[in-house]
Structure 1
Amino acid sequence: MSTSVKETLNSKQSFWFFIGPAFLVSVGYMDPGNWATSLEAGSRYGYALLWVITLASLIAVLMQLLSAKLGIASGKNLAQMIRVEHPGKGGTFLLSTAALAMVATDLAEFLGVAVALNLLFDIPLVVAIFLTIFDVLLILWLERFGFRWVEMTILAFVATIGLGYVVELWLAQPEWADVAKAMFVPNATIMDTTALFIAMGILGATVMPHNLYLHSHQVMTRRDEGCSEETCRRFYKMMRWDTILALTAAWIVNSAILIMASAAFHEKGLLITDIDEAYKTLGPLLGEAAALTFGIALLASGIASSTTGTLAGQIVFESFFKKRPVNILKIRLFIRLGTMIPAAIAILLSTTPLKLLVLSQVILSMQLPFAVIPLVRMTSNPMIMGDLVNDAKTKITAWSATALIVGLNIWLLVMLAVEAFK
């Protein structure tokens, strides 16, 4: 994304100047993929997996802080740094897995827009899929006015989603004592293969690889070319507030989706296996206002996250071109076609969007180690980070979170293999 010289950081900028990059990223934490995993988790297991959202959100805050710090200290985004640190086949492999994650990410967001258009305006799903290509034009139009317009537009979508779930929770009337306990106290439900699959989906939908690439890039809209150590330290301090505020909002929204699904569906013995089923069921249960609010929030989520997903995809795909000229429009259209075609095929084959959404989130979770490990390694390198290098406590926490992510992926693969050979 282009950056105006007049809009970049100086040491006297106010706190509000720094607010924005993390909120742009945060919409990826409340995208249709999150809706899919949280709806199924809530309707199938009640509040039992709510603690997984809390854990995943804490890991997300840590990883996004590392991503922002990498961009501030190095002046490069994560994709560019991977290319610098791994110039050969290793870098190509890592960026290829990132490209796959971008397609999986955009598929979820893409389907969310299509499903919302279908539910709200009765547009056939296949037609709705092809209409979503216009979000590329939306990005190009907004960027003409500078990065702040893009961020403020996304923030408006985030506010719409949040307001929608305030209404949904007010209508659903959950048991708040049970919610408070489940939000912070783990339970053994995750030992079940299906629960683990959904939990992995929650992790993949919460800690998303494309957000790590996007955040490291977006912070540079506030960074001068000659960022002094003192200025960079102040910059990072402000970015910490931006990240914590934005991802706390995302945690609340994600939790609200699961809480609503539990209160509205699980407590009445209803298992939701598709997003349109949730929409159609909410009307009779909680009134048409609940269904309409659900549909509008889903549309806002899909459009906003699809926009940021395309921006993140651009960052990764640009890294393959190195110093060759890049046609931004062609890259964005390529990303859009790369997700539109499989989505259209899946719909034509009658694959339910919710199953496709959950699967896309598991794919993201499987790719996550290939983004997180290089990120933690680079932010722990004083040659790259200077004064912003990870301290001992951050290293231990970051590597522990990485080990948890890798361990859960291995556990899921083992359990799926065991189930396959039964």
Structure 2
Amino acid sequence: MKKFLKNIGPGPLVAAAFIGPGTVTVCTLAGVGFGYSLLWAMLLSIVATIVLQEMSARLGIISQKGLSQIIRTEIKNPILKGFTVILILSAIVIGNAAYEAGNITGGVLGLQTVIGNPNIEIGGFSINTLSIVIGALAFVLLYIGNYKLLEKVLIGLVTLMSLTFLITAIMTKPNISDIFMGIFVPKFSGDSILTVIGLIGTTVVPYNLFLHASLVKEKWQNKSDLKYARNDTIIAVVLGGLVSMCIIISAAAIQSQDISSASDLAKGLEPLFGSFAKYFLALGLFAAGITSAITAPLAAAYVASGCLGWNSNLKSRKFRAVWAFILLLGVLFSSLAIKPIDIIKFAQIANGILLPVIAGFLIWIMNKSSILGVHKNNTKQNIFGFLILGISILLSVATLNKVFQLNIF
């Protein structure tokens, strides 16, 4: 057990990154709107995420480089390289800055459910002090620059989040046979297609591929460690997927359709199952918000460092400057209740285009013997990889359809 725990590391950080307030909200809406019938989409998301994240981890350990570093060195055509680097920087750095406010706000909503809303008025502005508290906590953990400490804190928060959502789901006393039907018997309709794509899109996250490749080399340096990285990835992603399923199951217990966020879910469960359900869910939402508030700036810093050829050391000035900028914007937008709609729309577009580009590049690079040697993809890994590439293209089209209202679906 001690050896097992010693080799759990970057995987939970990846799970922490994809289970943010956005995931909680999408899963809540899926449960309220469609009951257990979309649980199969989460199973598909778990498999897709494991395949891509395993590739990313394998690449990081064998090459001892981040994904953005390899992109910068392997794409030889200057025009294509410039386009790819700009797309990555736009989607990950600017995108994470836009989403960071949502991450912090999610953590704030969790705390507000328990301790209220301590706003202060300054110069006509209403400032949410909880946003500043969460931002300060994230800043301290990132500034210390100790990977092992960061890893332990995030593993603890992911464990807390997992337990709270699991307990909440159990409290709803779900029908087990209906759950298994929802997981293994796919049901699909025109009304649910955007929700299905949303569930997959919040789990298969482009910036996690960059984050994972960079983090594994902080933990492991030897090829013999690949088995630990693979187990770490599978356990963490499955755990993260189960958390998402628990949220869907909890939301399915609510009869009212007047639910639009996770905080509404917490309030909706209270009359059915008492205040305990509300507090468990609030703790889970807080953990989801703060873990994503830490990992999003961290991922942006790794991406910027790799794309621009900087030192990716956690304590380097340029590295710290990137995550501090992302965190500051998130705190500012969240504490003043500013909604950067245009920036978020831009981030959605960039991420929508980026996912198939990065998935395609990752599959290409994972077949290069010059980088991976005997550890390149085998036939089975390539088959799964290309299937997921097809899914990512569908996600990309759906995202552009949603943003530009093209009415493709």
| Cα distance between partner residues in 2 of 1:92 and 1:60 | 23
Q: How many residues align?
A: 390
Equivalent position of 2:149 in the other structure: 149
| Alpha-carbon spacing, 1:176–1:34, altered in 2? closer, same or farther (3 Å) | same
| Alpha-carbon spacing, 1:122–1:59, altered in 2? closer, same or farther (3 Å) | same
Larger mean Cα displacement after TM superposition, 363-372 or 43-52: 363-372
Deviation sequence 1:203-242 (CA, Å, 0-9, x none)? 1211112211111011102334xx4xxxx1x211221111
Which residue among 318, 330, 338 is the counterpart of 1:327? 318
Which residue among 218, 240, 254 is the counterpart of 1:221? 218
| Cα distance between partner residues in 2 of 1:116 and 1:278 | 11
Equivalent position of 2:389 in the other structure: 402
TM-score, structure 2 as length reference: 0.86
| Cα distance between partner residues in 2 of 1:16 and 1:412 | 38
Q: Is the 8 A contact 2:111 2:286 kept in 1?
A: yes
The sequence identity of aligned pairs, in percent, is: 25
Match status 1:203 vs 2:200: yes
Equivalent position of 1:110 in the other structure: 104
Q: Is the 8 A contact 2:60 2:66 kept in 1?
A: yes
Q: Is the 8 A contact 1:99 1:316 kept in 2?
A: yes
Equivalent position of 2:139 in the other structure: 137
Deviation sequence 1:119-171 (CA, Å, 0-9, x none)? 2222357413333321333323653xx42222121111111112112321222
Match status 1:94 vs 2:83: no
Equivalent position of 2:228 in the other structure: 238
Give how far 1:293 is off. 0.8
| Cα distance between partner residues in 2 of 1:340 and 1:262 | 32
| Alpha-carbon spacing, 1:92–1:326, altered in 2? closer, same or farther (3 Å) | farther
Deviation sequence 1:257-298 (CA, Å, 0-9, x none)? 0011002x1xx2434112322222222221001101111111
Q: Is the 8 A contact 1:44 1:272 kept in 2?
A: no
Aligned residue identity for 1:54: L
Deviation sequence 1:341-361 (CA, Å, 0-9, x none)? 44456x35799xxxx999987
Which residue among 33, 41, 49 is the counterpart of 2:22? 33
Mark the runs of 5 or more structure 1 residues left unpaired by the alignment.
Answer: 1-12
| Cα distance between partner residues in 2 of 1:118 and 1:349 | 19
Q: Is the 8 A contact 1:109 1:302 kept in 2?
A: yes
Equivalent position of 1:7 in the other structure: none
Q: Is the 8 A contact 1:38 1:258 kept in 2?
A: yes
Match status 1:248 vs 2:238: yes
Q: Is the 8 A contact 1:136 1:333 kept in 2?
A: no
Larger mean Cα displacement after TM superposition, 323-332 or 80-89: 323-332
| Cα distance between partner residues in 2 of 1:215 and 1:360 | 21
Equivalent position of 1:8 in the other structure: none
| Alpha-carbon spacing, 1:32–1:19, altered in 2? closer, same or farther (3 Å) | same
The 3-state SS of whatever aligns with 2:59 is helix
Mark the runs of 5 or more structure 2 residues left unpaired by the alignment.
Answer: 120-126
Which residue among 35, 38, 44 is the counterpart of 1:49? 38
| Cα distance between partner residues in 2 of 1:254 and 1:421 | 28
Equivalent position of 2:60 in the other structure: 71
| Alpha-carbon spacing, 1:57–1:295, altered in 2? closer, same or farther (3 Å) | same
Aligned residue identity for 2:22: G
Larger mean Cα displacement after TM superposition, 18-27 or 64-73: 18-27
The 3-state SS of whatever aligns with 1:319 is helix
Q: Is the 8 A contact 2:67 2:306 kept in 1?
A: no
| Alpha-carbon spacing, 1:297–1:207, altered in 2? closer, same or farther (3 Å) | same
| Cα distance between partner residues in 1 of 2:23 and 2:112 | 19
| Cα distance between partner residues in 2 of 1:77 and 1:182 | 37
The 3-state SS of whatever aligns with 2:259 is coil
